[in-house]
Amino acid sequence: MSKPLTYNGYAAHVEFDAEDRLFVGRIAGIIDIVTFHGESVTELEQAFQAAVDDYLLMSEKLGRKPQKPCSGKLMLRIPPEVHAHAVMMAAAHGKSLNQWAADVLAKAE
C-alpha cells in the first residue's frame, strides 16, 4: 500500500499523464480546486508544498478560512445487522467500535 503525498495537514491525489509525461496532482478532501504538477517526484513534492502554501496565503489575503480536509467525524447509516456485527468484531478485538472501525477503514483500498 502506498502512502499519500502529505504536507501541512493536506493530502494530494496524484495521477500520471503519459501523454505529457507529467505527474498531475490536486489537493484532496477540499472543495476548492488547487492543482500542481511536476516532471519528477521531487518536482511534484515541491510543487505540492508550494500549492498548499499559496492556497493558505491566498485564503488569508481574501479574508476567508482555508478549507481543511475532513474533521475526523463520520456518520454512517448502515443496516442494524451490520452495526451489530461491527460491535461484535470490535469487542472480539478488544477495541471500541470507533477504534476498530478506524483501523478497518485505514486498511481499506
Report mean pLDDT in 10-residue bins for the chain, 109 residues: 84 94 94 96 97 97 90 87 94 92 87
Do both 56 and 83 map to the same domain? no
Structural domain range at position 24: 5-62
Instruction: Please check whether residue 69 lies inside any domain of the structure.
Output: no
Other C-beta atoms closer than 10 Å to the C-beta of 12 total: 24
Number of Cβ within 10 Å of residue 86's Cβ equals 16
Please state, in angstroms and as integers, the Cα–Cα distance from residue 44 to each residue in 7, 23, 24, 35, following that order: 12, 7, 8, 11
Statement to judge: residues 58 and 11 lie in one domain: yes
Instruction: Give the pLDDT confidence score for residue 57 in this predicted structure.
Output: 97
Please give the pLDDT value at position 32.
Answer: 94
The pLDDT assigned to 106 comes to 87
In a domain, residue 68? The reply is no
CA distance 41 to 11: 15
What radius of gyration do the chain's Cα atoms show? 19
Pair 30, 67: CB distance under 8 Å = yes
CA end-to-end distance (rounded Å), the chain: 8
- What pLDDT shows up at residue 72? 76
Name the domain count of the chain: 2
